[in-house]
Amino acid sequence: MLVQVGKRYVSEQRDIDPLFAKSMLELLSRSKVFRDTHEEFIRDLIVACTRREYPVNRYLMEEGMKGDSMFVLFNGIVEVTAGGRYICKLKDGSIIGETALLNIDNRRTASVRSLSKCDVAIISRFSFHSILEKYPWEKRKFQREMKHKLMELGKLIDVKDDINLEQQATQCDALKSVPFFSDPSDAMHEFVAELAMNTSTYWYKPGTVLMKEGDINCEEMYILLRGSCEVYSCGQLLGRIENDVIGEIGVLDLLERRTATVQTATACQCMKLSRQVMVPILAKYPDARLRLLELARTRLTSINESIMTSQEDLSGTAMQDLCGRLPGCAIGFGPYVNSADASMFAINPIFQDAPIPLVHALSDRLVD
């Protein structure tokens, strides 16, 4: 809370420069973003903001980079460019990057460079959403604006009454940490943002079976964000997976039954997506659908090769040539190592990338 005591503005955290506080209150009250909000809400934003000075020729933000804050240009001049083209110059009182507070897909759409020494107030997305929790009217206002924008872009499969903007943005960032979604293309970026709007996150304790081989219930797929899972097919441990997509074969309707059993080896945080949600989203993003189909094809091929080949069929020469993991099968050892030993080796980072002949030889020498 920001209060005026005599000629000073005081917060619980620190004293606020009165000229700065007064100017910020006027600037934010006039802006389109905060025009209809209560004064106390704006005062709390002023308390939460941080001031920073930028020397000449420094970037406040760069196009395409991740953004999680809004800038209020208190004093100075900046140049705005996009796609390598000059857009405009902004001076004292300008608000820059406000979409980062509301937008789930929080990439910067322009670059902003200082042309003179700039005094800037920065409001982070975390602070903004924390303050929103104290002001129900403002929270509903920004939720309506965000929902309207998403509806215009066709990014909501089911219209939700209560969109938690900070949570959705966090989920978007979490998805991008998974290698499958790390493609920097615009199409993948839009795909990830839409998934974040239509998914839920769950925690599973160790030993939970997420999918069971042969099960005809193929209506859901998972995105493993934290933790690791063990994958079994035909009783053989294929290995452990981390930061990966699970269950895409069933959701894509390539097979009628689950091809493997997936069980959590540690506490796992997963996003769960139903076929009902995935099918219409994939229909809008053909490149993402092809990418998912290619992942499913690679895994089906690898699983088929691993269960068709037995240890007894491997000659000594073939064993020496087998180095690395089976493509598409995480960090497992296929049928080449005893299942119990393979599980032990898969847990240990030292052996996860070891050549299969070495792990096979160690397994043969283990004493029960």
Q: Is 134 helix (H, G, I), strand (E, B) or coil?
A: coil
pTM for this model (two decimals)? 0.55
Sign for the pseudo-dihedral over CA of 126, 129, 131, 133: negative
Structure letter (DSSP) for residue 66: B
User: Alpha carbon of 120 to those of 71, 75, 91, 259, 365: distances in Å?
Assistant: 6, 7, 11, 56, 66
Sheet holding 118-124, edge to edge: 50-54, 118-124, 69-75, 95-96
Both structure tokens of 367: 């004493």
Mapped to the 3 state alphabet, what secondary structure does 276-334 carry? HHHHHHHHHCHHHHHHHHHHHHHHHHHHHHHHHCCHHHCCHHHHHHCCCCCCCCCCCCC
Tens place of pLDDT per residue across the chain (368 aa): 444 434 444 444 455 678 788 888 888 888 777 878 888 888 888 888 888 999 999 999 888 887 888 898 888 999 988 888 888 888 888 888 877 776 655 678 788 999 999 999 998 888 888 888 888 888 877 777 666 555 544 444 343 444 455 566 677 778 888 989 888 777 787 788 778 877 888 999 999 999 998 888 888 999 999 999 988 877 777 778 889 999 998 888 888 888 889 999 999 999 999 888 888 888 888 899 999 999 888 888 776 666 555 444 544 434 433 434 444 444 455 566 766 676 666 666 666 666 667 777 777 777 65
